[in-house]
Amino acid sequence: MESGGETAIATGAAALAAAVDSLTALPLIPVSDNDIVELMQQIETSTRRLASVTQDLIVQACARSLPARNGSGSPALYLQAVLHISHGDAINRWRAAEDLAVWHRVGDDEADPVPVLPCAAQALDEGAISLDHVRVIRAVMNRLPGKVAPEARAYAEQQLTRQARALDPTQLPRIGERVLGFLDPDGTLTEDADRQRLRSASVSPQRYDLMSTLTVELTPDARAAFDAVMAKLARPGMCNPDDKESPWADDGELPRDLVEACAARDERTKVQRQHDALLAVLHPDFNPAKLGSHRGLPVATILTMSIEDVERTAGVATLATGGSVPVEDAVKLAARRSKTFVLVKNKNGMPLHIGEARLANPAQRLALIATERGCTRPGCTAPASMCAVHHVTEFSKGGRTDIGNLTLACDHCHALVKNGPRGWTTIKLGPESGFPGRTGWIAPAHVDPSRTAQVNHLHHPGEMLTAVPPSVRTRSFCNPVRPQPVQDRIARRTTTPPARQ
């Protein structure tokens, strides 16, 4: 026997199908331009509202154990089977239902539970946002540190949903970054547990062209290891499948002329070189011990931190590749990996400890990494891993290979240093300069008629902030505008959402 509710739902579904049938049968040629736009907007709004009903149906399917009774290992696999949709689409619908639908969990004290994302759920009910908007909102909310207060989380969701009503999904991530920066401007709320929660690696199914997409969220530890290997194997000339002479791995320093010759005919982009380097690493015959050296140093993770940060176990350590690692993680990384160089500096920026270096030249390069961090030519962003050691006073002119006469310069900038009116020159600055011991670059007269020595501040951002007075931001989340609970939802059943797949 059918109840009144079941009859009403069946009648509503039949009316929806009939309305769609009538729309598809109507000719559109007589419709005016303005009406075409209005019709598209109306249908889009209705389609979005139907997505809200889909969330409720997913709740009911789980409440009645339909996935398990169907032999599906998860709700997403069940949706894929019964709706004949892609696995990715099924996962997106299921995860949206987790946060947008009304779940009554066993043992919940709330008599009238609300969704995890009530503002987004209400906007979807109204047809004001789409599931693509919801996907972005969920991604941003998932990145919020665990220490963020519930009031601040509610504020973040309200702001994201409000902006989603006016922006398309591709514009919303910019708002998300601003919200994240507002709630945690100095990164003090983010902990290692937050980063570990976000780590992931997934490969998409092969497309018709047999290509696949690899999506990875790297922890600072993994990024440090990745950058160290890429600096060697992804440099121009290395691991080039189109060049028979291109080296893939070696057990020592490669001949410079061989690398330069291979690099000169290497037409790959950076991302293509990284792909080929990753392929070399994943090859069954690859041996990490054969990575050899890169620019005179063993291929290793190189961490630089101050003695003050080490003593208080706070702050960040910088990498030779330009990235950052929390000091606490850097200390653990150095303790469990043999190929890790730790450079500890005193308050004046001078190296106090140089890891495991034994040879003079590598030690000098490590010292330069600790003090200069990257290419020293003003405006250059190349990290230390992409730089060569440059003699400030040329060796051919009597310049000694002493630490006081050495600096870092990337290959492009290094080539600019030459004799003649169009060449750049380098000097070591004295105490009166304000940056004693740093490398100053003097541009040719056609670039800088004053020929004033300049230093590169980009690898030392603190220098650019010294003139900014300290300020304290104050925020209050004591009285946030709380969203109204979603009304008239179908799902008010007793169930607990299964574990996320």
Confidence at residue 475, expressed as pLDDT on a 0 to 100 scale: 39
Q: What is the pTM of this model?
A: 0.50
Q: What is the mean pLDDT of each run of 10 residues along the chain (501 residues)?
A: 65 86 85 88 90 88 89 88 88 89 65 81 92 91 86 90 90 84 70 80 86 87 80 86 81 70 91 91 73 57 66 65 67 58 56 42 75 89 86 77 82 88 90 84 91 88 50 36 42 48 50
Q: 469, exposed or middle or buried, with CB in 10 Å at 0-12, 13-18, 19+?
A: exposed
Q: In 153-213, at which residue ranges do the beta strands (DSSP E only) sit?
A: 200-203
pLDDT tens for residues 201-239?
A: 888 888 888 899 998 988 877 887 788 788 888 889 888
Confidence at residue 481, expressed as pLDDT on a 0 to 100 scale: 39
Confidence at residue 497, expressed as pLDDT on a 0 to 100 scale: 55
Q: Which amino acid makes up residue 312?
A: R
Residue 302's Cβ-side half-sphere holds a number of Cα atoms within 13 Å equal to 29
What does the alpha-carbon distance between residue 14 and residue 87 come to, in Å, rounded to a whole number?
A: 28
Q: In 361-473, at which residue ranges do the beta strands (DSSP E only) sit?
A: 387-391, 406-410, 425-428, 439-442
Pairing of strands 293-294, 297-298: antiparallel
What does the alpha-carbon distance between residue 333 and residue 325 come to, in Å, rounded to a whole number?
A: 10
Contact 172, 130 (CB under 8 A): no
What does the alpha-carbon distance between residue 434 and residue 405 come to, in Å, rounded to a whole number?
A: 18
